[in-house]
Amino acid sequence: MRQRKAGTPGHLSDLDGWVQPEVWERVRELLMEASLLIHDHNQPPRTPGTVHVSATSWTFQMIRKARG
């Protein structure tokens, strides 16, 4: 990514797996909280004291395919 500032922390996660329903619900809650936090604190471009960031998340429950 050419626009990523070198040497700054970021986070990338990818998983196609199986978890208990309560774990999945907690993950969704945490991601929704993070999304609300970053949206609620978003400022106009180049506001002093801010950093330019990009945040994307997409999580969903998979369709369970029949074996066979």
Q: What CA–CA distance (Å, rounded) separates 8 from 52?
A: 12
State residue 64's pLDDT score: 83
Please list the pLDDT of the chain residue by residue as tens digits (68 residues): 688 889 999 999 999 999 999 999 999 999 999 999 999 999 999 999 999 999 999 999 999 887 76
Asked whether the beta carbons of 14 and 60 are under 8 A apart, the reply is no
Paired tokens of 6: 């070198």
Taking a C-beta distance cutoff of 8 angstroms, is the pair 32, 24 a contact?
A: no
Q: Please tell me the pTM assigned to this model.
A: 0.81
User: Would you say how long the chain is, in residues?
Assistant: 68
